[in-house]
Structure 1
Amino acid sequence: MEDYISIVETQNEIMGAMEKLLTNFKKDSSERKTQSYIKRRLETLEAYWKEFLENHNKLEEISEKTKYPYFTENYYQQTLRFYTETKKYFEKFT
């Protein structure tokens, strides 16, 4: 149970970091949004997603899916949707 809670907390932190990445990107001026800048943001997003997936796989191994809110509230699907939409948004600037 302790592992589950720790990993879910990390998942929440990763999602928060992805949200902050998008928010900060939207605040940046158009002059700042160079190709290399956008590439770095996409790489950061990919790194967050990779870590999220690794943690998701750990959660699937250690927990009963029907018992915990992470699974019953479809947290993976919600984060996947956010990741996909954010990636598309960044790619519009390339």
Structure 2
Amino acid sequence: MEGLLQRQLIIAEAVQKISTNIKKDSAIRKTAEYIRKRLVNLEELWDEFDNNHKKLTVLCDNKHEYFQSGTYLSVKELYSTQLHVLC
């Protein structure tokens, strides 16, 4: 369970990094290939994060810090925002 929780934090940081980089990168750099790669990466990260979350809902008490901190909703919101930016 602790490994899964740690992985969730790593994925959350990766999604945040994608968001930061998209904001920083110039318009010239944002080619169709750039957008495709970021979109694929974002989707893969989200799929893993969402699947891990489902496992954690079975393994952890909803009073666990992971649930209390709203990590899932924060990452979901960031994912949705970046998905909108890329599409």
Alignment identity in percent?
36
- Which ranges of 4 or more aligned residues in structure 1 deviate by more than 3 Å? none
5+ unaligned residues in a row in structure 1: which ranges?
none
The number of equivalent residue pairs is 87
TM-score, reference length from structure 2? 0.90
Map 1:1-94 onto structure 2 (within 5 A).
Answer: 3=1, 5-65=2-62, 67-91=63-87
Give the number of the structure with larger relative contact order, counting CA–CA contacts within 8 Å between residues 6 or more apart: 2
Which has more radius of gyration?
Answer: 1
For residues 4-33 of structure 1, the C-alpha deviation after alignment (integer angstroms, 9 at most, x for no partner) is x22111111101001111212222221111
C-alpha RMSD of the superposition: 1.2
TM-score, reference length from structure 1? 0.84
User: Separation in 2 of the partners of 1:73 and 1:26?
Assistant: 26
User: Separation in 1 of the partners of 2:18 and 2:42?
Assistant: 8
